[in-house]
Structure 1
């Protein structure tokens, strides 16, 4: 299955989630409500780092959209994988 791999030195997973949501919704990332309204974005970034040894995922809702973040950096919005630009 195609996916995305984060460059953990340069990317935060929370910013990648915002970009994926903006792409899925068809809007500019700056037009979205802050991610921290639905999930602790700092905790999300800390869970999925380069040193992550846990194989897992986090799921949450953002408005009407289902978001899934996997420990390998894959981000799914409503079941569709979104690649980072």
Structure 2
């Protein structure tokens, strides 16, 4: 390898912003934020997703609703389906 052309590879703390999970890994990224991790000061890099919050690693899959698009639209905007429960009006 040529000397002087590669970025500095140093340890940094990655923080999963969804769960608060922190881990140390080597990186070439720099940050103005620092954090004390296990008694040592490291640069802090915030990430949106890591192995602690990713559905593949956690086993918590995000399933879509069984309702159709029209039903979800009606629920979202407050439209009632008059045919969904015909006995509802008779009970009043």
TM score, norm. by length of structure 2 = 0.20
Q: Between Structure 1 and Structure 2, which shows a larger proportion of strand residues?
A: 2
TM score, norm. by length of structure 1 = 0.21
Higher relative contact order (CA 8 A, sep 6+): 1
Higher Rg: 2
